[in-house]
Structure 1
Amino acid sequence: MQTPRATVLVVEDEPLINEAVGDRLRAEGHAVVSAYDGPGAVAAHAEHRPDLVVLDVMLPGFDGLEVCRRIQAARPVPVLMLTARDDEADVLTGLGVGADDYLTKPFGMRELVARVAALLRRVERAAELVAGRAGDGTTAGPLEVGGLRLDLAAHRVWAGEREVHLTPTEFDLAVALAERPGEVLRRDRLLAQVWGWDGGEGATRTVDSHVRSLRAKIGAERVRTVHGVGYALEPR
């Protein structure tokens, strides 16, 4: 029997959607656990310790935002949030409670699989980086740009004297910008570097949403927008 690539918790109260997502992820080689409401999702996360969670926002019991808060407090895990509305406030709220990415319903299964694969690759790359540093006895020094300090090994961030909590995606986005201070990075380049996949104009909106969430946490003045091009982390 083939070893599953990853264990994915699918939280969706519509049985047909839950089953369809689960079947497609199983076809990709993943083990799948299903939950249909807020309390069930939190319990399944504690019991099965999934590698990734696909989480609908609208759930009975309590909603997906509360689920995300609780599971991230218990054990951080990548979360792909499903939302019925592409409302910016809803998206930013989801990112603010620890979601790493989001898809707006209705969505295509190919896109969902691509998002899941990208999130899992990023987790693998982070683990390999830590293992490599441990193996050669070296640790990377922190990145410091304009009063923003990022500890790459510990995944901790300070804006001035204030420590801020970033999701794994926000952290990777901040690192990508901090590695080239003052340089404007195109949105499609950030999408490929941070998320690990290519997309069109609709996909780059994911970058925009995460930049807005990052700004809210580290200070809007630290990230400069060049409209129609991309973003830069200000060195001063």
Structure 2
Amino acid sequence: MSSTVDDLKTAVIIEDDPEIRHILSEVLESAGFSTVSVGNGIDGVRAVLTYRPLLTTLDVNMPGIDGFEAARRIRAQSDTYIIMLTGLQDEADVVAGLGAGADDYLLKPFRPRELRARVDALLRRARAGGAPEPAGLTQESAGPTFPGARPATTPLPINRAQPLDAPGIVAVPADSAGEREPVVMAPLETTGGDDWLVHRDLRLHPENRVVLIGGDDLELTRTEFDLLATLLESKRRVRSKADLTLVLRGESYVTSYFVGDADKRAIEAHMTNLRRKLGDSPTNPRYIETVRGVGYRLTSDQV
């Protein structure tokens, strides 16, 4: 299977375990992706900057640089969706992965069907939000490239990794997600396509995906932008962590769904990063306040 860098259905797989690489390739190719597979973090960063994928899967424990550092380097120059795959289960590791720029975090051993579902959810967000294709990267910004690579502005043929002989088997444990909270959703308020959403000196344009603070551009990840847009649309209405999870999945109009504790911790981590970029303090917030035990909402318009 071959494609070009302009193909929106390209995925880069960064994984040092050949069996897992094989499984990831099969899952993503069944979802319509062309795949590029590499076995370490350094080559993974180069592959993302060269092939400009829509999606990147990233292992945490790899030779060279680990997945956290690879995610930071990728996120500094690419808007690719990042799904981290790891056996690390501590909450601090999940927070670190999301803080490094990952959009989702999946524990090993994973279920291929769950990975496919999470990928589909990310793609729904792209369609619903009208996110633009990631901006082109120059050869200088990409750094060293693979032998024979051409500048990133030139279409590159993608050679899919050859299938490996090792059997694609992952042990699947019993469901250990713990208690899950049922959620009943209400539709989001929407604004006109050309309208800016404004709160104090913060301005957000949903269609152009631009955020300004006092006239200065603010660089946000896709997830951070979607969270902020949801809060601005909701004004003073409190949005729970479960609400925000479903918004990010593109399922905000689902009448009933289940959201687990890991999803809520992910929202907390994304919110921490968003507040840091806004220069907002949780104890004395200017833009976003926490409603303890419930969720988040905008602060009052009054200074």
Aligned runs of 1:1-236 on 2, under 5 Å?
A: 6-127=9-130, 140-160=194-214, 163-197=217-251, 198-202=257-261, 203-218=263-278, 219=280, 220=282, 221=285, 222-236=287-301
SS of corresponding position for 2:121: helix
Q: Which runs of 5+ in 1 are unaligned?
A: 131-137
Alignment RMSD: 2.9
User: TM-score, normalization: structure 2?
Assistant: 0.65
Higher Rg of the two aligned structures: 2
Higher relative contact order (CA 8 A, sep 6+): 2
Q: Percent identity?
A: 39
User: TM-score, normalization: structure 1?
Assistant: 0.82
Amino acid in the other structure paired with 1:191: T
Once the two structures are overlaid, the 10-residue window that deviates more, 87-96 or 6-15, is 87-96
Once the two structures are overlaid, the 10-residue window that deviates more, 68-77 or 34-43, is 68-77
| Higher-helix-fraction structure | 1
Cα offset, 1:159, TM superposition: 4.2
Amino acid in the other structure paired with 1:165: E
Cα offset, 1:160, TM superposition: 4.7
Is the alpha carbon distance of 1:190 and 1:38 closer, same or farther for their aligned partners in structure 2, counting shifts above 3 Å?
A: same
Is the alpha carbon distance of 1:213 and 1:111 closer, same or farther for their aligned partners in structure 2, counting shifts above 3 Å?
A: farther
Amino acid in the other structure paired with 1:200: V
Cα offset, 1:27, TM superposition: 2.4
SS of corresponding position for 2:236: coil
1:176-231 CA-to-partner distances (Å, cap 9, x unmatched) read 01101111113222222222255432333322322222222221323223344322
Q: Which residue of 2 aligns with 1:134?
A: none
Aligned equivalents of 1:87, 1:210: Cα separation in 2: 17
Which runs of 4 or more aligned residues in structure 1 lie more than 6 Å from their structure 2 counterparts after TM superposition? none
Aligned equivalents of 2:131, 2:109: Cα separation in 1: 35
Q: Which runs of 5+ in 2 are unaligned?
A: 134-191, 252-256
Once the two structures are overlaid, the 10-residue window that deviates more, 203-212 or 170-179, is 203-212
Aligned equivalents of 1:147, 1:177: Cα separation in 2: 15
